[in-house]
Amino acid sequence: MKLLQTILAFLVALGALVTIHEFGHYLAARLCGVKVLRFSVGMGKVIFSRKFGKDQTEWAISMLPLGGYVKMLDRRDLGDEPIASEDLPREFCRQSVWKRIAIVAAGPIANFLLAIFLYAALFLHGIPEPIAKIRVPSVNSIAYEVGLRHGDEILSVNGKAIHSWGDAQWELMQSALAKKTAELVVTRVTDGDAPVPPQKLQRVVDLPLQRLSAKDLETDFLTPLGFSLARPPAVLGEILEGGRGQLAGLKKGDRILTVNGEKVLDGLAFTEKVNASAAVPLRLRVQRQGAELDMTATPELENIDGVKLGRLKVQLLLAPEMTLIQTGAIESLWKASQKTWDTSLMSFSMLGKMLSGEVSLKNVTGPLTIADYAGKTSRSGLISYLSFMALISISLGVMNLLPIPVLDGGHLLYYSLEVLTGKPVSERFGEIAQRAGLALLMAIMAVAFFNDIVRLMS
């Protein structure tokens, strides 16, 4: 069932994004006076079509639900077939270079506009996101060394206000790619041992992101620094009947303070400790209704997918503290435009660093990874799925702007040369460049498929 949902989510997302891309080309062609012969959703053999309008443009659905295309009146596609005299002024190659640039650029622009629309709708509706509160599990980490502490909440990074964990990750990633130190303003609640009553204090912390290696940037780049998203305290939820937790006397609402005399950082730390302690007695200090109790629990050994884990059969609340990111109509549009712009620049920056060797080619992803994320986000809910579609729409726009022949960016490169030299690129040169571009694109796809397979297998 999950596989079917993943396939459907992938096909819906890709079909919608490609259709919007091609509709950008179609609309620009009509506005520039170019005759459009066919608009196809899908590739390959046409399985259904209808003709509409004065030009009798064929609107078609083709067999392969991957991609789509707009077929314009273009002498290069007709060979020796003559063009009717009344249609000659509407042939693509007869248009001015600026009109051709507009038609080609309209596809990627449509993808960027779709991303802005989706993000604006999400911001207007409200997006639940984790607050930017950090988890610092080790005193030997870089995070602890520079002054970050467990429970600190990030207020700003390099002067930019932070409203959620996603904002913090984004700003820190940009500093990491630039190999710069990030200035964090954090707020901290003083603990009970402080000489003053608990209160919020602000601190400025310099985080040396240049200490990260290229390999660190391939995964969760914050883990090598020693911090991650904060989790709630180790407070128990439901206690399953007959489990080792119930036998030990644990009850719903108990807060685990220590295990074997060591302070428990949060619910995640307690889970990890239990998982690693199959059949090993654990001495627990538990807080229950203001009182502290001592008890012993021995996790039951369970073999899960070949891995031996300890289980007490108690539920823990591990979901992070959330906030709702919601803005008004005008602010939503501005915020969406800014996010689309920043994401596009980040994508181009990552591509440049891949070419220079600063970032590994392992970061290149293909359709298998996209399909995997399509399935996961669709199961998480509509907000996650629409956010995924906005991100992929930006990626599609960026990819099509790459100066590779066969892509929109390659044609824009030709037309830019035509603007500079005053004459179009020769057809012979164009044919050679098309073959080279196709070979390069196939090589990129091969790398992407290889990375997808390795990623899914691991």
Active-site annotation holder among 22, 129, 241, 358:
22
Cβ atoms < 10 Å from Cβ of 191: 9
Q: 356 φ, ψ to 5°?
A: -85, -5
Tokens 């959703």 sit on residue: 41
What angle, 0 to 180 degrees and rounded to 10, lies between the N-to-C axes of helices 382-400 and 97-125? 160
Establish whether 22 is a catalytic residue.
Answer: yes
Rg for the chain (alpha carbons), in Å? Answer: 28
Q: 187: closest CA among 148, 244, 159?
A: 148
**CA–CA gap between residue 193 and residue 159 (Å, rounded):** 31
Tokens 């130190």 sit on residue: 181
**Any idea which residues carry the catalytic annotation?**
22
